Amino acid sequence: MALAGAPAVLRGRNLNSAIQLAAVGTGGRGWSDLDAMASHSRTQPVAFCDVDLSRTSKAAKLNPDASVYQDFREMLEKEGDKIDAVTIGIPDHMHASATLDALRRKKHVFCQKPLTHTVWEARQVRLQAEKSGVITRMGNQIHSHGFYRTAVRLVQSGAIGKVSRVHSWINATGHGKSGQIGRINPSPPPEGLAWDLWLGVAPARPYVKGKVYHPWGWRDWLDFGNGALGDFGCHVMDPVFTALKVEQAPSKIKCSRHTGMNDEVWPAQSTVEYDFPGTSFSGKSLPITWNDGGRKPRDLGPHFNRRDALPGGGSIFIGEIGSLVLPHVGTPKLYPEEKFKDFSYDRMENLDHFHGWLDGIVDNRQPSDGFSYAGPLTEAVLLGTAAIRSLGEHLAWDAKKMKLTSSAGDRSDLLTKDYRKGWEIKPV
């Protein structure tokens, strides 16, 4: 049965036609996503949007007749019913604005991770997606990788028993731009870059030549990105959430340590401790600890061979009868080695994350990591970034009331941000 109010490919009209696809962001990850989707036999790119016109040249080759815009609001307004679906690959701070605009117009949406820039935005996106009844997917493409899918199956099969705790980590840092604070000279933006549109919801600041903010550098800045945890958390913690079927929000979060945090950029290193309610695959509670910036877990449990080196990023699931190390991105390994020496299991195949979303549109089938899943995962990750901004505070999270508190009082201010005039986001 077709979804009410859905685009033409689901409303019973033009069922044999291609999905009319628009792209918000056509450089970097935005280009990779678009290029992968354009190879789908039922997809036709029809409109491209990028605040930097120099980054639309590749996209134009996919369809020279496609319309080109710099403002996604203008594109969505003018193209209207010509668009069935939208892919969003732009800096984190603009994810919610573009995604909500598309969802409210009942467009199917694929948005890069993390789903949003703040916890409050993640909640609004999830609610709007459910209200609009469209097909959604987050761009954590590792969700579809065979290594991750194999690890999920191993944990759920009981290979290591019930999981008592998980440690996740990444070598990346959110502090690479710290040396540029106070040492950068404003300069006119290059021709073709609409700097005010690039800033969007964020506070106004002048353009700086080079990769300080655009392109690439934005991830380290509080106004635009989410540091190492925000950048990699939805990847590395995705198989943790999937394997253990984590469906409830963490009750407590604490950043126990970080280095180099200031008012402009994320820290060089951080450690964040989560306390989740237990699941059918864990004990009564489920502690998950995150480390970044080169920090790795010290608590490796009783099964891990200390002679082995931990990968640069990944997770270790510490279970009752064994442990599983899942590199980012690599083959899962079971410990103790002697116990699992002759242990055989099926290796899961890679799935096409991008085509999976498009197939879902054609078949009216929601992928496993639609926004009903991606929203809560993003909320959990970004609660960690809120904890980083409140070093040492034991934060209590009431997900139903969307209230964050500590011994210092209400810290719900960490859940959202101020929006530049004209870019305010209305709640769902």
> Is the confidence at residue 16, as pLDDT, over 80?
no
DSSP letter string, 76-95: HHHHGGG-SEEEE-S-GGGH
Which tens digits make up the pLDDT trace of 225-259? 999 999 999 999 999 999 999 999 999 999 999 99
According to DSSP, residue 314 is labeled: E
Nearest CA-CA partner of 240 in 348, 313, 344: 313
pLDDT at 6: 47
Instruction: Give yes or no for a cis peptide into 190 (omega within 30° of 0).
Output: no
> Is the confidence at residue 308, as pLDDT, over 70?
yes
Which tens digits make up the pLDDT trace of 139-193? 999 999 999 999 999 999 999 999 999 999 999 999 999 989 988 899 999 999 9
CA distances from 78 to 75, 111, 210 (A): 5, 21, 33
Summarize the confidence of residues 342-349 as an average pLDDT: 96
Q: Are 371 and 115 in contact (CB under 8 A)?
A: yes
Of 5 and 43, the structure prediction assigns the larger pLDDT to 43
Host H or E run for residue 22: strand 19-24
SS3 category, 149:
helix
Residues forming a β-bridge with 345: none
Q: Are 382 and 118 in contact (CB under 8 A)?
A: yes
Which tens digits make up the pLDDT trace of 310-337? 999 999 999 999 999 999 999 999 999 9
Strands (E), 249-400: 252-259, 269-277, 285-292, 313-319, 323-327, 333-335, 395-398
> Is the confidence at residue 10, as pLDDT, over 60?
no
Which single residue is written with the structure tokens 């800033």? 199
Host H or E run for residue 137: strand 136-139
pLDDT at 4: 41
> Is the confidence at residue 196, as pLDDT, over 50?
yes
Summarize the confidence of residues 97-110 as an average pLDDT: 98
> Is the confidence at residue 62, as pLDDT, over 60?
yes
Summarize the confidence of residues 89-112 as an average pLDDT: 98
Summarize the confidence of residues 14-23 as an average pLDDT: 83
Summarize the confidence of residues 421-427 as an average pLDDT: 97
Complete domains list, the chain, with CATH: 8-142+358-368 (3.40.50.720)
> Is the confidence at residue 14, as pLDDT, over 50?
yes
Q: Are 100 and 107 in contact (CB under 8 A)?
A: no
CA–CA separation, 263 and 223 (whole Å): 10
424: tokens are: 């305010």
pLDDT at 56: 95
